[in-house]
Amino acid sequence: MSTVAITGTGVFTPELVVTNDELVETFNAWADRQNEANADAIAAGETEPVPHSSSEFIVKASGIENRHVLNKSGILDPEIMHPVLPERSEDELGVMAEMALDAAKRALAQAGRTPADIDAVICAASNHERAYPAIAIEIQEALGIEGFAFDMNVACSSATFGMQAAHDMIANGSARAILVVNPEICSAHLEWRDRDCHFIFGDVCTAAVLERADASDAAGRFEIVSTRCKTVFSNNIRNDNGFLRRTRPGHMEDRRDMLFRQEGRKVFKQVVPMVAELIIEHLADNNIAPDRIARLWLHQANKAMNDLIGARVLGRTPEPGEQPNILQEYANTSSAGSIIAFSQYNDDLKPGDLGVICSFGAGYSAGSVIVRKVG
C-alpha cells in the first residue's frame, strides 16, 4: 500500500460578514414583533415571550464573533431572516460548485498540480443543494478532470470521512490523486429565528489535494499516518428536510424540523467524551503519546467543547497555538471548520511534527486523521 499525503489546501471565504451585533439587532427586532403579535396570549400565560439575544450571550455560549455568508440582506431583514440566493438555470454552475472551484484552484496551486493530475473528486458536505446529479460530478466537469466523482454526507464529519475515503483509494491504487471539497452553505439550513442557535453557522468552502506521498515534493505537505472514523446514532442533531416531506400532509409548510436543530447540552455532554476517546485510542494504536502531538485542528463548533477535548487528549490545558480556533471569524462551518484551521495554522510546524485533524457532529459521527509534516 502507498503512503498518502495532503499536498495542498484551499479556502473560499465569502466577502460578506455578519457581526454578532448585526445579528442580535435583527433577532431582537423580530422577537419584539412576535411578542407584540402574541401580547394577549403572553399576558394570559398561554405562551412565553421570545427572549432577546445579545452579543455577550453568543460569545459566552460559543466563542463566535462573526460569520461569513453568501447573502447578508435576507438574513438581516426581520421579515425574511434567511439568505436570499437567486435561482440559477440548469445551464449555470451551481452555487456549491462555484464555491468549490475557488477553493479547489487554491488547493491545486499549493500542491503544484493541475486538473490533469487528479483522478477523482469527492464533494463531502453536510447539505447538498440537490440530490442528483452529484455536485462532485459538476465540479469535476467544470475543472476538466477525467475519472470519477461522488458526493458524500456525514454532516460535520464529512471532510475527515472524505479524506479517509480518498486515502484508502489512493493507498490501494484506485487513484493517483483525489480532490476533496467541502462547500458548506450552512446559512441556508439554519433557523435564524431560534435564539438558541441563530448565531451558530457561516458559509465557506475548503478543498484538499491528497496524493501518493512519493509522487510529490510540494512544500508544506503532510503525510497521513492513519485515519479513523466512528459513528453512534443520535437524534440530538437533526434535519428532516428531504423528498419524503411531500408524502405527508402539511409537511410542505414552513416547518422547524426541516432546518438544523439540536439538543445542545446533550450534544456537549455526549460528544466530548466520544471524540476525546476516539483521538486518544487512535494515537495509542499508532504508538503515539499525546505529548508528541504538536497541533490539534478540531471541528469548529464551540470553543468550550474544543477546549475540553484538547485538555482530555493532551492531559493538560492546551498552550496557545496548540489548538487553534477560527470560530471567532468564521463561526461553525460544519465539515469545513477543521480544514480551515489546518490550512491557516500549519506553516510553523517543522518536518517530523505530528498533528491531528478531527471533525465531529451529527450522527453522531467523528473522523480523526493523524498527519506528519514532511516538507
Q: Answer whether residue 38 is part of any domain.
A: no
Q: What is the pLDDT of residue 375?
A: 78
Q: Answer whether residue 164 is part of any domain.
A: no
Q: What is the pLDDT of residue 250?
A: 77
Average pLDDT of the chain to the nearest whole number: 95
Exposed / middle / buried, residue 347 (Cβ in 10 Å: 0-12, 13-18, 19+): exposed
Q: Answer whether residue 116 is part of any domain.
A: no
What percentage of the chain's residues is helix, strand, coil (to nearest 5)? 40, 25, 40
Res. 243 pLDDT band, cuts 50 70 90: confident
Q: What is the pLDDT of residue 245?
A: 78
Q: What is the pLDDT of residue 316?
A: 95
User: What is the per-residue pLDDT across 34-56, written as a single tens digit (0 to 9) for each?
Assistant: 999 999 999 999 999 999 999 99
Mean pLDDT of 242-252: 79
Report which of residues 240 and 155 the model is more confident about. Answer: 155
Please give the model's pTM, rounded to 2 decimal places: 0.94
Q: What is the pLDDT of residue 311?
A: 96
Mean pLDDT of 131-152: 97
CATH number for position 332: 3.40.47.10
The strand pairing partners of 18, in sequence order, are 67
Exposed / middle / buried, residue 176 (Cβ in 10 Å: 0-12, 13-18, 19+): middle
Mean pLDDT of 259-270: 89
How far apart CA 68 and CA 226 sit, in angstroms, is: 32
Give the chain's domain count.
1
- Residue 318 is part of which domain span? 222-373
Residue 181 has pLDDT above 90, yes or no: yes
The residue to which cell 498540480 is assigned: 113
Q: Answer whether residue 82 is part of any domain.
A: no
Contact 354, 370 (CB under 8 A): yes
How far apart CA 107 and CA 109 sit, in angstroms, is: 5
Residue 168 has pLDDT above 80, yes or no: yes
Q: What is the pLDDT of residue 241?
A: 84
How far apart CA 300 and CA 160 sit, in angstroms, is: 13
The residue to which cell 429565528 is assigned: 193
Q: What is the pLDDT of residue 164?
A: 98
Long-range Cβ contacts of 13-16 (<8 Å, 24+ apart): 13/68, 13/204, 13/330, 14/68, 14/69, 14/70, 14/203, 14/204, 15/68, 16/68, 16/69, 16/70, 16/71, 16/72
Q: Answer whether residue 234 is part of any domain.
A: yes
User: What is the per-residue pLDDT across 187-211, written as a single tens digit (0 to 9) for each?
Assistant: 999 999 999 999 999 999 999 999 9
Q: What is the pLDDT of residue 257?
A: 78
Report which of residues 64 and 242 the model is more confident about. Answer: 64
Q: Answer whether residue 151 is part of any domain.
A: no
Residue 14's contacts (CB-CB under 8 Å, 6 or more residues apart) are 68, 69, 70, 203, 204
Q: Answer whether residue 9 is part of any domain.
A: no
Three cell numbers, residue 28? 431582537
How far apart CA 278 and CA 284 sit, in angstroms, is: 10
Q: Could you report how far apart the first and last alpha carbons of the chain are, in Å? A: 21
Three cell numbers, residue 359? 471533525
How far apart CA 304 and CA 284 sit, in angstroms, is: 25
User: What is the per-residue pLDDT across 304-342, written as a single tens digit (0 to 9) for each?
Assistant: 999 999 999 999 999 989 999 999 999 999 999 999 999
Residue 244 has pLDDT above 90, yes or no: no
Q: Answer whether residue 232 is part of any domain.
A: yes
3-class secondary structure, 226: strand
**Which active-site residues does the annotation give?**
156
Residue 187 burial (CB count, 10 A): 26
Q: What is the pLDDT of residue 253?
A: 76
User: What is the per-residue pLDDT across 94-133, written as a single tens digit (0 to 9) for each?
Assistant: 999 999 999 999 999 999 999 999 999 999 999 999 999 9
